[in-house]
Structure 1
Amino acid sequence: MNPRAMRVWAALPFARNLRDRRFQALAAALLLAGLAIVVPPLPLTRSGVSVLAVVDITGSMNVRDYTSDGRPASRLDIAKAALRNLIPELPCGSRLALALFTERRPFLLFAPIEVCADFAPLDGAIAALDWRMAWEGDSRIASGLHRALTMAGELDTDLLFITDGQETPPLPANGIPPFEGKAGAVRGLIVGAGGYALAPIPKFNDRGRETGFYTETDVQQENRFGPPPADAESREGYNPRNAPFGGAAARGEEHLSSVREPHLKALAAQTGLAYAHLDGPDLRAPLLAAATPRPLPSRLDPRPFLGAVALALVLAVFLAGALRARFTPFTPSRMS
């Protein structure tokens, strides 16, 4: 194009509009709005988890050895808060099942459901967990964990088992019962709830009202089923036939409670699970480290982003014009 034609082209209104920043911004906004209409969601794959969460609701979980907002909080309250905080931190597509533990077995409340689509019922179910749901007073942690692993295997999930580890009645002298499954076949995490110092266990009456704390004589201090301990012969009143555990009543601290971390770590080693202490309402990092990453088909929808950028450009054009008009000094015309 010769210089004269170029000058003519540059003088045309359309050419001047092409050089105008406002026109360029509005044209870009129009293009982005069109793309927001026609561009489909983009397929992608990300990692999630599928977990069976089992919460211990036995009496020792009522011990208030945590604090929340400056007030004492029970182990069960902190466990519930940790689970409720965990759900929105999991990738959408992850699935979670919920079960209670008391006596010697877990009770499944519901099978795995999606954590985003079913957030409201999940959050409500966890918030409603209560020690009054327990059907027995015993707390056979090892047996409950073994059965929870079987349940998780049947559901094809990993396991999240939250407990303070206090066995009631205490374990017999021969220790942890054998695990009949395959260690590591189900991955997961045991979470130890509670402080490390002994604390009294609240006691409740038939109407669920707190009446004080358990005392030494309220609680079985020794398991006298199975073979006697190694020191039985040195006990007062020992008789191999009639008093193999000795003749005196057992003494101990089973009416007090702390997180039984050595016991829980032994169970983790026996079953191939990981262990973490519940230091506060944050379970995401230890759970993701212990759980099986599961590929989740997902989609990335760029349309909201494209529409938002188009709207921002339109608003910028009009705001820039308004600001220019506001701050441009007024020059009165001269009357001839």
Structure 2
Amino acid sequence: MNTHWLKYWLKHRDSCLLAMALFCLLGAILVPTVPIKRNVHTYFLIADVTQSMNAKDVSLNGRTVSRLDYTKHMMHEIVAQLPCHTRLSIGLFAGDAVAALYTPLQVCQHFSAIHETIDHLDWRMAWTGNSQLRESLAITAKLLRQMPEATKAVYFTDGDEAPLLHAFNTRNLRGFQGGDGWFFVGIGSDKGTGIPKLTEDNQMIGYWSNESFAVQPNVAQVTASKSSGRDDSVALADYDRFISKRDGPYLQKLAQEIGAQYIRGDDTYEVLQAIQAHKSPRHEVVPFSIAWILSTLAGLCLLATSIHRDSIRQFRHAFGLYRKQVRARLFARSESVAHDNHFQ
């Protein structure tokens, strides 16, 4: 029986291949799918829009840019490399709170809207002059619990607290729950620079002074959270400037306190790998299209119809002639070199 089918195949080879190609193409037209199980990651990308993020101490494409511009660039790259089924929300951090601009959206379906949101991130969106990262964690946790699905928080911040932390305004995070799957991406340089003071029209009028970040030790935490914590003074000399830098040690300590992870924001690939390496709490069964597999098989069948014994024999003959020509040229060249050496 096997011999009979083999003889029939050899006799009607081209017809069988064309029939297989037609069958595969018809199958591809129906767009068949198979169910597969995959992890679903949902991220809440939080941009620090406080004024310290206006400090220009980060290099991007050979020029120095502000931390906020660098954050926006990194967000763009991360979104562009996420799988289509990933869900994403963009948020803002200022003062002691975080605001979500929308509930998580699927990346590919809302690709343009997400990128446009990132493009329009601006320090003037901040609703207060404070930068109380530690205080914002409780509000972020509450916000994530209101999300329709399990979501991972990714803070893009320099870790600069204003007013400066002391014993009276440092929240005790002992017993904090919900930090698993959170990430703090440190933006800025370790060297530090002054924070530019800008007008509502985004015009620079100077730098924030040291006094702008001072707060009296006896100010109650509630009062401090309601006030800006800064005055309107401008640094009159370089030594008056408040020097801001990426506070990596503080962010790392903060991450350890709540069970989160700290990542240096120097490389987008490292940040992307870190947030994707964390296990996903959600799975879903989705249809996986196999139409491209059937189309590829149809193409291979059509290609196989053009391959015959005669064509294989001609290819071998042509390849043999080519090898002979190459050998003849190499042999002639070696004889020429030997002849020249003999006369020298």
Fold conserved between structures, TM > 0.5:
yes
Q: Is the 8 A contact 1:159 1:186 kept in 2?
A: no
2:257 corresponds to 1:305:
no
**Equivalent residue for 1:151, pick from 143, 155, 161:** 143
CA displacement 1:133-182 (0-9 Å, x = unmatched): 11222111111233212211222422111110101111123563123763
State the percentage of identical aligned residues.
Answer: 28
2:245 corresponds to 1:258:
yes
2:56 corresponds to 1:69:
no
2:69 corresponds to 1:82:
no
Q: Is the 8 A contact 1:99 1:108 kept in 2?
A: yes
Instruction: Please give the residue correspondences for 1:251-330 in structure 2 after superposition, counting only pairs within 5 Å.
Output: 255-282=242-269, 283-290=271-278, 292-311=280-299, 313-314=301-302
- Given the two structures, how large is their TM-score scaled by the length of structure 1? 0.75
Distance 1:211 1:190 in 2: 31
User: Mean alpha-carbon deviation: is it higher for 281-290 or for 171-180?
Assistant: 171-180
Distance 1:185 1:70 in 2: 36
- Given the two structures, how large is their TM-score scaled by the length of structure 2? 0.73
CA displacement 1:271-314 (0-9 Å, x = unmatched): 22111110133322111234634213222100133124424543
* Letter in structure 2 aligned against 1:285: Q
Residue 167 (structure 1) aligns with = 161
Which structure has more helix as a fraction of its residues? 2
Tell me, what secondary structure is at the counterpart of 1:178?
coil
Instruction: Please give the residue correspondences for 1:89-168 in structure 2 after superposition, counting only pairs within 5 Å.
Output: 89-155=81-147, 156-168=150-162
* Letter in structure 1 aligned against 2:34: L
Distance 1:114 1:97 in 2: 9
Distance 2:263 2:279 in 1: 13
Q: Is the 8 A contact 1:102 1:139 kept in 2?
A: yes
Q: Is the 8 A contact 1:48 1:90 kept in 2?
A: no
Distance 2:282 2:199 in 1: 46
2:207 corresponds to 1:213:
yes
Change (3 A) 1:314 1:16: closer
Tell me, what secondary structure is at the counterpart of 2:136?
helix
Structure 2: gaps of 5 or more residues: 221-238, 316-344
* Letter in structure 2 aligned against 1:257: S
Quote the offset at 1:17 in angstroms.
Answer: 5.1
**Equivalent residue for 2:48, pick from 17, 32, 56:** 56
Change (3 A) 1:136 1:15: closer
Distance 1:87 1:281 in 2: 11
* Letter in structure 2 aligned against 1:198: G
Quote the offset at 1:23 in angstroms.
Answer: 4.1
2:187 corresponds to 1:193:
yes
Residue 330 (structure 2) aligns with = none
User: Mean alpha-carbon deviation: is it higher for 160-169 or for 254-263?
Assistant: 254-263
Change (3 A) 1:173 1:227: farther
Instruction: Please give the residue correspondences for 1:30-41 in structure 2 after superposition, counting only pairs within 5 Å.
Output: 30-38=22-30, 40-41=32-33
* Letter in structure 2 aligned against 1:171: L
2:170 corresponds to 1:176:
yes
Structure 1 outlier segments of 4+, above 6 Å: none
Distance 1:297 1:311 in 2: 30
Distance 1:150 1:303 in 2: 44
- Give RMSD over aligned pairs: 3.3
Q: Is the 8 A contact 2:45 2:155 kept in 1?
A: yes
Change (3 A) 1:184 1:167: same
Distance 1:111 1:261 in 2: 30
Tell me, what secondary structure is at the counterpart of 1:111?
coil
* Letter in structure 2 aligned against 1:214: W
CA displacement 1:56-80 (0-9 Å, x = unmatched): 0111111222222111122112222
Change (3 A) 1:73 1:227: closer
